[in-house]
Structure 1
């Protein structure tokens, strides 16, 4: 009889040997992430490429530090970081209980019911969702490290994604906001976390599974697609997971009685509804900072694999405020430049602007600050950007 129960993969001896070498070059992994398999997991995700893995780990550690979730609890990631809090409360998601596992694999649950991606994109820029996905993966990383330290065996995460309530039409057009969001989130998963999430179990599909596959293949690469499984019956979860890791709502015994979930049998916290008076204006970030008329934006045109910069300077401590729109994908980051050296103050992500401009703010010390936009695509057409940034005295 074939055993379909999901387990975390083991790593080859070659990968484990390379991991020992990599430990020497990055010796100070945060204790909450450190485990016997931390480096091996990232190496496997990057096909054993040590140099690329080194770069990805440093970028990940930089992201958590710059956004301030490196020294707070799991719950605080969801409730105290503005970007994460504003995003997570709009999604129907579970916590990640360290003690709930199936064969050393953790389980995360997300429900699409009550979640309207198009509405979410009217109240926050797409980058909020992308940055929040990094924070969610921080939770996954901590849970896996906890289990690996405790058991000495590899761990991973399975996501149960309940598609009930999903408007499939929203994702049929690859240029739609929901499809763009899904594409960029999957890109982050593929680039940084492909070995964190070992399986995505999709239940209650809103249409014919073959049609769902066609839509999905537009959004994910072949390697990622291998980790997806559409289940025609919720009972099929028991083929992959032990009952203690399956929510009661889906026929298992897993409950969340912490006060987070409603109802406890569903283990998820319903999303906060979006009211029309929460819709953000195009000038929102400027109005929030007392500037009733947004500054005139500067136009930039960026050819394939080229970088454009927008520079602002201040002689006093202040608040750097920025806003931009873009016609396509860009890699965006902010650095402080001093004597020819650059230090990141805002983490790099790949992003595009949708309903709202991309915007943000950051308290800065005196100095020169560079908003950097790189066109990561080999497109014939340059990416068009309109950007405005100022440093406001506090």
Structure 2
């Protein structure tokens, strides 16, 4: 899941040897990133789960440094908005805006544990205003908009700033191209990569997908799709939703619930939300909760089934 997502973005490694004092540095560049096209090949949940995995990577790096030095550690992220397609963000209902909104929600709720600063560089004027709205959930002392890359020196030591931005950090591991930029080139999306609504089923040899059912979920209400399996299997799901829902999968056993798939807030964009997870015999619940306070219900249409491993 993570590799499927990360290869579509221009990001650095979190090299634990690259630090400014006790602070690690991660770089994410938006140039060349076509969010609308990316949403045609991976569902939104893949992106959100990949950020949770990145949060885990940050946490391990911070814990290792703190154990070794006995001092507090953290991570600074450099987010480069150069080349960002502004037109994609003019419609508040567009896929890129919805993606950015939910990614920032993940950042604000989880990354504050181990990310002390988000340095936004090269922000176009209109987008800087738009992103300030997105980042309203981040405390102001954790966010800085820099219109000159030279200002990175105010926050980081030269060895933790890529050569491209005026520092001395090079990635000569073979990962980054060019080494001076410290990031890997993204894999562009082609029409051959586009996914269809039934592809998740055919991926696992299911030529006739199970029938979908529709649900209408009122504010602060939930609905469940319950499935039971008697053998070790793979649970596969696919659904579309008309608005934000909290989605999770749990295994019910002896009156208790065990997490089988972590809860995240998501919505469906260009593709249905789909996925799979290996499971042991038991009863599994796909739960959808509408967290909104509006009068409008969220529509969910989906299916789930098992495939023997």
Q: TM-score range by the shorter chain?
A: over 0.9
- Moved beyond 3 Å, runs of 4+: 222-226
Of 18, 26, 32, the residue aligned with 1:114 is 32
Q: Distance in 2 between matches of 1:373 and 1:310?
A: 9
Separation in 1 of the partners of 2:50 and 2:255?
32
Moved more, 272-281 or 190-199: 190-199
Match of 1:353 in 2: 268
Instruction: Write out per-residue CA displacement over residues 89-117 of structure 1, whole angstroms, 9 at most, x where no aligned residue.
Output: 11100011112111221111111112111
Contact 1:335 1:342 in 2 (8 A): yes
User: Alignment partner of 1:141: what SS?
Assistant: helix
Of 91, 114, 119, 2:9 maps to 91
Shift of 1:368: 1.3
| Further displaced range: 170-179 or 128-137 | 170-179
Instruction: Report deviation, 1:312.
Output: 1.1
Q: Tell me how far apart the structure 2 counterparts of residues 354 and 212 of structure 1 sit (CA, whole Å).
A: 21
1:393 corresponds in structure 2 to 308
> Is 2:55–2:110's contact at 8 Å kept on the other side of the alignment?
no
Alignment match of 1:190 (pick from 108, 112, 116)? 108
Q: 1:298 aligns with which of 213, 234, 239?
A: 213
**Alpha-carbon RMSD:** 1.5
Matches within 5 A, 1:1-394: 83-205=1-123, 207-208=124-125, 211-394=126-309
* CA gap 1:223/1:115 in 2 versus in 1, 3 angstroms: closer
Which structure 1 segments of 5+ residues have no match? 1-82
3-state secondary structure, aligned to 1:388: strand
CA distance, structure 1, for counterparts of residue 139 and residue 265 of structure 2: 18
SS class of match (2:77): strand
- Kindly indicate which of the two structures has a greater share of residues assigned to strand: 2
1:338 deviates by 2.2
CA contact (8 A) 1:217 1:225 kept: no
Which TM-score applies when normalising by structure 1?
Answer: 0.75
Structure with more relative contact order (C-alpha pairs < 8 Å, separation 6 or more): 2
The TM-score normalised by the length of structure 2 is 0.95
- The structure with the largest helix share of the pair is 1
- CA offset at residue 221 of structure 1? 2.5
Q: How many residues align?
A: 309
Cα distance, 1:266 vs. partner? 0.7
CA distance in 1, matches of 2:226, 2:291: 21
Does the 8 A contact of 1:336 with 1:369 survive in 2?
A: yes
